[in-house]
Structure 1
Amino acid sequence: MQFWIINLCCAFLLCALFTGIVIPQILLIAFRKQLFDEPDGRKIHHSVIPRLGGIAFKPVVFFSIALLLGVNLTLGHQEILTEMGNNIRPLAFGFCTIMLLYLVGIADDLIGVRYRAKFVIQILCGVALISGGMWINDLHGVLGIYEIPVWLGWPLTIFITVFIINAINLIDGIDGLASGLCSAAFLFYGLAFYLSGRYFYSMLAFATLGVLVTFFYYNVFGDPNKQKKIFMGDTGSLTIGMMLCFLGITLSVSEPIASVGNPNPLVLAFVPLLVPCCDVVRVYLHRIRNGKNPFLPDKNHIHHKLLAVGMRQRTAMITVVSVSLLLTLCNIVLSIYININWLIIGDVVVWTLANIWLSNRIKRSLSAL
């Protein structure tokens, strides 16, 4: 146990350190080459800000993991290599999906990629996960269903992959929101995998958490006037979304964690992503109901609603991340004692009431003008 705790801490610290070295270099190149995210009527920021922060994410994670593997082997420890060997097939396909979306994200940030092309790539990533043996084969009691056949599990896995990737991509609307929500999710995943004895997956989660912590600092506290502020861009949101999807699906097919009361694996796997997933469903339904293209951007996300009722950006970000943490903790604990279907109904009711309240607040604010 002590061996893995040391390596998990090293993975987190190395990624935080290396990201702090790489991001200033990305900022320097972005300003020299004038690679900016220009402000417009839909965006909240008013200064030119580079959106290439995500370029640092996956190379730093992979480099740090490889460095730790090399150091451990040099010192005569085979544990990390053994863990990788035991999970080589899903890890190989999982890393391929992340690198594929990394390249798509860079292309999108630099020259733009049509959303249809991105959907095709995301579907291929879902197929790759299935090829790696990672697919939803058990609904753990949702609608009374447990084990499900291949003909249902494979399409469901592809749908969940595309859905989660886009949910993370679309929630990235104000400073620190996407990185804050994803950091909370990776923290839960890291702890869950550690408690279930799947230590290499825990290392991946904590390594990615280290990257996001440093990025969060530059994204939230960076001064654009001093050329210190940066966005993650599609490179970051797509790859982070894919990593969350990969870890979430892996956790959903893992054995329940007996040491903490056997919480429902499906809740443990996906409830950390509850806020961005619920938000994207509501936004898509709103666009369809109003006859708009559901894949074109607007200003109807939860953070836009909070800004509309008078919250400042940072307050809105802290509010959404805090709500996500609270919902995650409550759902995980309650899943030990309550049927998962009642949890789903409760989450839907809470989310619906919160959005109705926000909408009414916005209408009252507009009518008072």
Structure 2
Amino acid sequence: MTFLLITLAAAVITFIASRVVLRLALKHGIHPPVRERDVHSRPTPRLGGVAMCIGMLGAFGIATLIPSLAGVFAEPIRIWTLLGAALAITVIGVLDDLFDLDWMLKLGAQILVATGVAVFGVQIVSLPIAGLTVPSATMAIVLTVLIIVLVMNALNFIDGLDGLVTGTTIIGSAAFFGYIWMISQNFAQQNAYFSLASLITAVIVGVCLGFLPVNWHPARMFMGDGGALMLGLLTAASAIAVTGQIDIGTMGGRSQILPAFIPVLLPLAILLLPLTDFVLAVVRRVINGNSPFAADRKHLHHRLLDMGHSHLGAVLIFYAWTAVVSIGCLLFLIWPWWVVVGVMLAGFLVCALLTAAPVGKRIWRTFLRVMRERRGTRGKMAADATTLADTSAETPIPRGDIR
């Protein structure tokens, strides 16, 4: 109920802030022109990150008043660092939305913000993979910064359709919250880390729920780089708060951390599509001699549109893939592995069929057209043959030609 209250508060504050920000943006004409790679046709404000940041700050403010979350705020510097980093990256994203900052400047700012989080906020100190521990503080900081920057840009890269990032983040974060809730019962001594991760995840879900009404197709406002980068930062921080803060030495042996393989797999599963799109985009641009952050119209969501999917259909396909992967990983904690594998394979098959549906429709229509043309050709040939036979039968043969 505590985290449900936090989610509800974040949703309400974000929704109200979204309406206010949208009205101000329209009143003062604060919206960039439509770019060639955009899929919308009319200028739309990109200040959703401002409203989402307000919702995030408001939800954390309410959380400070809840006694059961006192342990989360026992180290204020960690919370202040996360909030300051989220606010800073939102400002950077909004400035980029308004003035189109140079990609090197934006990347440098992301690294700086992520470094602050790694040093004073959350940091990977251990990986629950066969007892692997990060050997040095420097490596821990570098690894944390790399993950945060990667996740921020991955979410930012797929923010190209109405409600895409918002909906996929809700689905993935809800699954991750369920995972945190289940395994936190086994690691009571690490409860502060799990509560922090749960709080961040609850805020993420609430902020996205509050923003979704104005971001649903046709969107009246976009979250922009400010919102996408902030969500990426918080998503990475929540994952690191569980995965990277579990000290294997305090768990009493490997037998108790068998479920800890999932915190490595689940964030990757949730971010599977954004990370795939990010890697493909970087490789594609580097091969073509462009900057890794040079914008183009070849992202996965653009390809779905080019395949023939509608705007809403492409978004729902992303939702389906995210749900199958994230919920499938979560089910490993509940059902036997062979049952989960079967369920996930069935889900993958359904998603693949939905993804390829426009191509299948075109192939089927082509097949029907060819068959109709063939039937028409055969019918015409048969009609011509019949006409020829009738003509031959009616034409008398001259007697002189009979041999």
TM bin (shorter chain): 0.7 to 0.9
Q: 2:278 is matched with which residue?
A: 280
Stretch deviating more after TM superposition (50-59 or 213-222): 213-222
Q: TM-score, normalised by structure 2?
A: 0.74
1:107 to 88, 91, 95: 95
What CA deviation, in whole Å up to 9, does each residue of 1:181-232 have, x standing for no partner? 111232123323333242243123212211211211211145x7xxxx1100
1:127 to 115, 135, 139: 115
Q: 1:265 is matched with which residue?
A: 263
Please say if residues 263 and 333 of structure 1, whose CA atoms lie closer than 8 Å, have aligned partners that are also in contact: no
Given residue 210 of structure 1, which amino acid in structure 2 is its aligned partner?
Answer: G
Q: Distance in 1 between matches of 2:295 and 2:264?
A: 30
Q: 2:216 is matched with which residue?
A: 220
- Relative to structure 1, the CA distance from residue 260 to residue 191 in structure 2 (aligned partners, 3 Å threshold; closer, same or farther) is farther
Q: Distance in 1 between matches of 2:257 and 2:276?
A: 30
Q: 1:55 is matched with which residue?
A: 50
Partner of 1:250: helix, strand, or coil?
Answer: helix
Stretch deviating more after TM superposition (55-64 or 182-191): 182-191
Partner of 1:264: helix, strand, or coil?
Answer: helix
- Relative to structure 1, the CA distance from residue 133 to residue 58 in structure 2 (aligned partners, 3 Å threshold; closer, same or farther) is closer
Q: Give the superposition deviation at 1:157.
A: 1.8
Q: 1:292 is matched with which residue?
A: 290
User: Any residues of structure 2 matched to 1:1-369 within 5 Å, and which?
Assistant: 5=1, 7-70=2-65, 72=66, 78-85=67-74, 87-132=75-120, 134-141=122-129, 146-150=132-136, 151-195=138-182, 196=184, 197=191, 198-221=194-217, 229-255=220-246, 261-333=259-331
Please say if residues 248 and 270 of structure 1, whose CA atoms lie closer than 8 Å, have aligned partners that are also in contact: no
Q: TM-score, normalised by structure 1?
A: 0.80
Q: Distance in 2 between matches of 1:69 and 1:156?
A: 30
What CA deviation, in whole Å up to 9, does each residue of 1:92-127 have, x standing for no partner? 322221121122122222223221111111111221
Q: 2:379 is matched with which residue?
A: none
Please say if residues 61 and 204 of structure 1, whose CA atoms lie closer than 8 Å, have aligned partners that are also in contact: no
Give unmatched runs, 5+ long, in structure 2: 185-190, 367-403
Q: Distance in 1 between matches of 2:177 and 2:332?
A: 20
Q: Distance in 2 between matches of 1:276 and 1:303?
A: 10
Structure having the higher Rg: 2
Q: Give the superposition deviation at 1:65.
A: 2.6
Please say if residues 177 and 201 of structure 2, whose CA atoms lie closer than 8 Å, have aligned partners that are also in contact: yes
Q: Percent identity?
A: 23
Given residue 118 of structure 1, which amino acid in structure 2 is its aligned partner?
Answer: K
Give unmatched runs, 5+ long, in structure 1: 73-77
Alignment root-mean-square deviation, CA: 3.2
Please say if residues 50 and 230 of structure 1, whose CA atoms lie closer than 8 Å, have aligned partners that are also in contact: yes
Q: Distance in 1 between matches of 2:292 and 2:258?
A: 40
Given residue 206 of structure 1, which amino acid in structure 2 is its aligned partner?
Answer: A
Q: Distance in 2 between matches of 1:154 and 1:168?
A: 21
Q: Give the superposition deviation at 1:59.
A: 1.8
- Relative to structure 1, the CA distance from residue 283 to residue 155 in structure 2 (aligned partners, 3 Å threshold; closer, same or farther) is same
- Relative to structure 1, the CA distance from residue 157 to residue 279 in structure 2 (aligned partners, 3 Å threshold; closer, same or farther) is same
What CA deviation, in whole Å up to 9, does each residue of 1:254-304 have, x standing for no partner? 449969955433113432112101111011112222333221011111111
Stretch deviating more after TM superposition (250-259 or 306-315): 250-259
Equivalent pairs, count: 334
- Relative to structure 1, the CA distance from residue 40 to residue 265 in structure 2 (aligned partners, 3 Å threshold; closer, same or farther) is closer
